[in-house]
Structure 1
Amino acid sequence: MLTEILLFILTAIIGYYWYIYKKIHNRYKDRDVKFLPGVPVFGNALQYTLLKRHMVYDFDEVYKAFPQERYVGYIEGTTPAILIRDPELIKRITVKDFEHFMNHKDFFTEEMDPLFGLTLIMMKDEKWRDMRTKLSPAFTGSKMKTMVPFIQEVGVNIVEYLKEHDGKDVNLDDVMRRFTTDVIATTAFGLQVNSFKDKDNEFYRSGQSLFDFSLAQRIYMFFCDNFPTAAKFARMFYKPTRTTQFFTEIVKSTMEYREKNNVVRPDMIHLLMQLKKGTLDTNPASEDKDVGYAAVEEEVKSPGSVREWTLPELVGQVFTFFVAGFETSASTITMCLHELCLNPEVQEKLYQEVKEFKETRGKLTYENVTELKYLDSVLNETFRKWSIVIAMDRICTKEYELPPAHEGGKPYKLYPGDLVYSSVNAIHMDPQYYPNPEVFNPDRFSEENKRNIQPFTFMPFGMGPRACIGSRFALLELKVLLFTLVSNFKILKCPKTIDPIVLAANDFNIKAKGHTWLKFEPRS
Structure 2
Amino acid sequence: MIVLLLGMAALIAAFYYYCIRPMSYWKNMGIQQTEPIWFFGDSWRNVLRYQNVCDMIDYLYYGSGNGRYGGCYTFSKPTLIVKDPGLFKQIFVKDFDHFVDHYIFQASDADPLWGKNLIALKGEKWREMRSILSPCFTSSKMKAMFPLMTGCAERFTQHLLSLKQDQIRLEMKETFTRYATDVIASTAFGIEVDSMKQPDNPFYLMGKRATTFDYWKTMRFFMNVLVPKVCQIFRIRILDDETMSFFVNLVEDTIRMREEKGIVRPDMIHLMMEARKGKYNKSEEGTNDETSMSHVDDTTLRSITNMDVAAQAMIFFFGGFETSSNLMSFMAYELAGHQEVQTKLRKEIEDTWNECNGKLTYEALLKMKYLDMVISETLRKWPINIATDRLCTKAYTIEPAGDEERALHIQKGTYLSFPTYAVQHDPKYFPDPDKFDPERFSSENVHKVLPYTYLPFGAGPRSCIGNRFALLETKALFFYLLKSFQIVYIDKSCVPLVISKTNFNFAMEGGNWLGLTPLKKEA
- TM bucket by the smaller chain? over 0.9
Q: Percent identity?
A: 36
**What letter corresponds to residue 480 of structure 2 in structure 1?**
T
Q: CA deviation at 1:332?
A: 0.4
Q: CA deviation at 1:284?
A: 5.1
Q: Secondary structure at the match of 2:417?
A: strand
Q: Deviations over 1:241-284 (max 9, x none)?
A: 11111111111111111112112222322222232334343335
Structure-1 residue corresponding to 2:347? 352
Structure-2 residue corresponding to 1:333? 328
Once residues 493 and 311 of structure 2 are traced to their aligned partners in structure 1, the CA distance between those partners, rounded to angstroms, is 38
Once residues 382 and 412 of structure 2 are traced to their aligned partners in structure 1, the CA distance between those partners, rounded to angstroms, is 32
Structure 1's 16 and 57: CA in aligned 2 closer, same or farther, altered over 3 A?
A: farther
Q: CA deviation at 1:490?
A: 0.3
Contact residue 341 and residue 492 of structure 1 kept, 8 A: yes
Q: CA deviation at 1:203?
A: 1.0
Once residues 107 and 339 of structure 1 are traced to their aligned partners in structure 2, the CA distance between those partners, rounded to angstroms, is 36
Structure 1's 193 and 8: CA in aligned 2 closer, same or farther, altered over 3 A?
A: farther
Q: CA deviation at 1:83?
A: 0.5
Q: CA deviation at 1:65?
A: 2.8
- Map 1:278-297; keep pairs closer than 5 Å: 278-283=278-283, 297=288
| More off after superposition, 307-316 vs 407-416 | 407-416
Q: CA deviation at 1:343?
A: 1.0
Q: Secondary structure at the match of 1:475?
A: helix
Q: Secondary structure at the match of 1:73?
A: strand
The unaligned stretches of length 5 or more in structure 1 are 289-296
Contact residue 120 and residue 132 of structure 1 kept, 8 A: yes
Structure-1 residue corresponding to 2:292? 301
Contact residue 385 and residue 429 of structure 1 kept, 8 A: yes
Q: Secondary structure at the match of 1:169?
A: strand
Once residues 222 and 216 of structure 1 are traced to their aligned partners in structure 2, the CA distance between those partners, rounded to angstroms, is 10
2:473 to 472, 477, 480: 477
Does residue 207 (structure 1) correspond to residue 207 (structure 2)? The answer is yes
Q: CA deviation at 1:489?
A: 0.5
Structure-2 residue corresponding to 1:450? 446
Structure-1 residue corresponding to 2:311? 316
Structure-2 residue corresponding to 1:292? none
Structure-2 residue corresponding to 1:138? 136
Once residues 207 and 17 of structure 1 are traced to their aligned partners in structure 2, the CA distance between those partners, rounded to angstroms, is 41
Q: Deviations over 1:110-146 (max 9, x none)?
A: 1331112111111111111111122212221211221
1:109 to 93, 107, 114: 107
Q: CA deviation at 1:15?
A: 6.7
Contact residue 33 and residue 72 of structure 1 kept, 8 A: yes
**What letter corresponds to residue 421 of structure 1 in structure 2?**
S
Structure-2 residue corresponding to 1:65? 63
Structure 1's 166 and 203: CA in aligned 2 closer, same or farther, altered over 3 A?
A: farther
TM-score (norm 2): 0.92
Structure 1's 258 and 52: CA in aligned 2 closer, same or farther, altered over 3 A?
A: same
Q: Secondary structure at the match of 1:258?
A: helix
Q: Deviations over 1:223-244 (max 9, x none)?
A: 2212122122221011011111
Once residues 354 and 503 of structure 1 are traced to their aligned partners in structure 2, the CA distance between those partners, rounded to angstroms, is 31
Structure-2 residue corresponding to 1:509? 505
| More off after superposition, 491-500 vs 162-171 | 162-171
**What letter corresponds to residue 413 of structure 1 in structure 2?**
H
**What letter corresponds to residue 408 of structure 1 in structure 2?**
E
Contact residue 220 and residue 237 of structure 2 kept, 8 A: no
Q: Secondary structure at the match of 1:32?
A: coil
The unaligned stretches of length 5 or more in structure 2 are none
1:403 to 399, 402, 417: 399
Does residue 377 (structure 1) correspond to residue 368 (structure 2)? The answer is no
Contact residue 331 and residue 509 of structure 1 kept, 8 A: no
Structure-2 residue corresponding to 1:179? 179
Contact residue 499 and residue 506 of structure 2 kept, 8 A: yes
Q: CA deviation at 1:10?
A: 9.9
> Aligned residues, how many?
512
Structure 1's 488 and 300: CA in aligned 2 closer, same or farther, altered over 3 A?
A: farther
Q: Deviations over 1:21-43 (max 9, x none)?
A: 54234321221111111222222
**What letter corresponds to residue 469 of structure 2 in structure 1?**
F
Q: CA deviation at 1:310?
A: 1.6
